[in-house]
Every structure is written in C-alpha cells, then in structure tokens.
Amino acid sequence: MINLKTPEQLDQMAVAGKVQAQALKLAVDTAQPGATTMDVDQAVEKFIRESGGIPSFKGFRGFPGSICASNNDMVVHGIPGDEQLTAGDIFSIDIGVTLGGWVADAAVTVPIGGESTAIADSLMETTKQSLFDAVDQCRVGNHLGDVGHAIETRVEDAGFSIIRELIGHGVGRQMHEEPQVPNYGTPGTGPELKAGMVIAIEPMVNAGKPEIFVGEDKWSVFSADGSLTAHFEFTVAITEDEPRILTPWHELMP
C-alpha cells in the first residue's frame, strides 16, 4: 500500500531532508584526497546526531556504516573503512537521516580533488540531469512509468547504461516503502502519481554495460565490467502544485 502524506507531514519530512542535505554537503567537503571513507562516515554521523537525528543506514539489516561510500566502479552500498580517497576518483555518497520519525534519503557522486576524466564528467552530469528530468515528471496524474522513462531516455541517449536490478522506493516513516521506483519505464504505465506520495528517485548508471555483481562483503555492488558508475538521489514529494524536493542538496553545492 502506498502511504500518502499530509501537507503537514511533508513539512516534517522537509525538516529531516534539510539535515540530510547538510550532511551530504559535509560529506562532500570531507571527501578530500587522503581522507578515508571512514573519516567521511564519522563526520557525517557526528553531524546527524548533533542535529537530533539518527543515521538511517546504521544497523539497517546489519549494515555497519552511517553512510554508503562507493568509489569508482562500485555502484552502491560500500561499507566505510580505511580506503583512502585519491584525486581523480569519483565517489558516491548515500546518506539516510531519520528525524522526528521521518526518513530522508539522498545521494550524490563527486570527483575527488576536483579532478576527473571527460567520461567521468559526462557520466556524472548525465546521471544528475536524469534525476532532474525525473523530478519534473513528479506531477499529479502522471505515472511512475513517466518518471522512469525520463531517466532511461537521458541515460541511454548519452550512451550509458541503466542498472535495472537497482531501483528507488517510497519513503516515509520507513526507509523503504511502496511503491518501487524503477529507473526505466513506459510512459503512462505504473501507479498513478497522487498528491502526498513521497518517493526516493535514484538513477544508478554504468559508463559501460549494465550488468552488476555483489562483492564478497555481501553489500558492495560493482559494475561487472569494471566501468565507472554514478548515483544521484532525491527524496521527492508529489503535491497539488510543483514537485517538492525534500532533500535539497542541489541548493548547497553545484
């Protein structure tokens, strides 16, 4: 069942989303050459807890980190540790914040040290723009197929690959609620979008082929061909008016 939120509840979710966006900004600022992924994790956890929140990921199904830290050919679910970040890496940071009983979930991929290749730049920009394309489809009367189709079109027109096994999801009191939100689709199909729906839209894109595999730690997901991968995410509310981005990290960083 899809749980619709009231305008007042959306305002409460936006409070969690503001902290989440600030945590992402802190993570990006901390992710400098020579820093470890655990350095980023610890800085984020401290900030979230000082802000009155809880890191949603920590302990979720046994996950040990407060963030998902995924580098280069790792798509998602990287466990923070002693891996040092290097100039030229592209680093995906996914953070969940629970505040006031509501969850906010979002992610960005950034170049470490401000250095990246042309293919990495194109991959990150395409993935980010596909997310904004998807948000623009989050209007009453549209369907989830419209949202996924917007992502798929942007990504495949650029010559990159949608990872079909990994999808977005509803968000609310729980981190994963209905509906499922694929990053592909046919316009006019799937559940109809209604005011009060809240979804995490998260395109995950490989520079090469779409196949993936899970690493030995049973968490980390990699591109099967070793190609670079990017991941961007917003928590978005459908309203009677414009789509409402509840995790506005784009207002804090380029």
Peptide bond preceding 187 in cis form (omega within 30 of 0)? no
CA angle 69, 74, 80 (to 5 degrees): 25
223 is a domain residue: yes
Residues 6+ apart with CB under 8 A from 8: none
Q: Which contiguous run of DSSP H or E holds residue 234?
A: strand 234-237
Report the CATH number that the domain containing residue 202 is assigned in CATH. 3.90.230.10
pLDDT score, position 252: 97
Phi, psi of 247 (to 5 degrees): -120, 75
Number of structural domains, the chain? Answer: 1
DSSP secondary-structure letter at 113?
Answer: G
Within a domain: residue 1?
no
Q: What is the pLDDT of residue 114?
A: 87
Please give the pLDDT value at position 254. 75
Helix (H) / strand (E) element for 168: namely: strand 168-170
Low-confidence ranges of the chain (pLDDT < 70): none
Q: Which amino acid would we find at residue 109?
A: T
pLDDT at position 35, please?
A: 98
- What are the beta bridge partners of residue 62? none
- H helix intervals, 115-243: 118-136, 144-157
The parent domain of residue 247 ranges over 7-251
Rounded Cα gap, residues 147 and 139, in angstroms: 10
What are 189's two structure tokens? 């199909």
In this prediction, residue 175 carries a pLDDT of 96
Q: Over the stretch 6-17, which tens digit does the pLDDT of each residue have? A: 999 999 999 999
Residue 114 inside a domain? The answer is yes
Residues sharing a CB contact under 8 Å with residue 239, sequence separation 6 or more, in sequence order = 7, 10, 140, 195, 196
Q: What is the pTM of this model?
A: 0.97
**Res 115: pLDDT:** 85
Q: How many whole angstroms separate alpha carbon 127 and alpha carbon 124?
A: 5
* pLDDT tens digits for range 25-66: 999 999 999 999 999 999 999 999 999 999 999 999 999 999
Q: Looking at the domain assignment, is residue 97 inside a domain?
A: yes
Residue 159 maps to a domain: yes
2 within domain boundaries:
no
Within a domain: residue 29?
A: yes
- Residue 107: phi, psi to the nearest 5? -150, 155
User: What is the rounded CA–CA span in Å between residue 44 and residue 67?
Assistant: 8
- Does a structural domain hold residue 172? yes
Q: How many alpha carbons fall within 13 Å on the CB side of residue 76?
A: 21
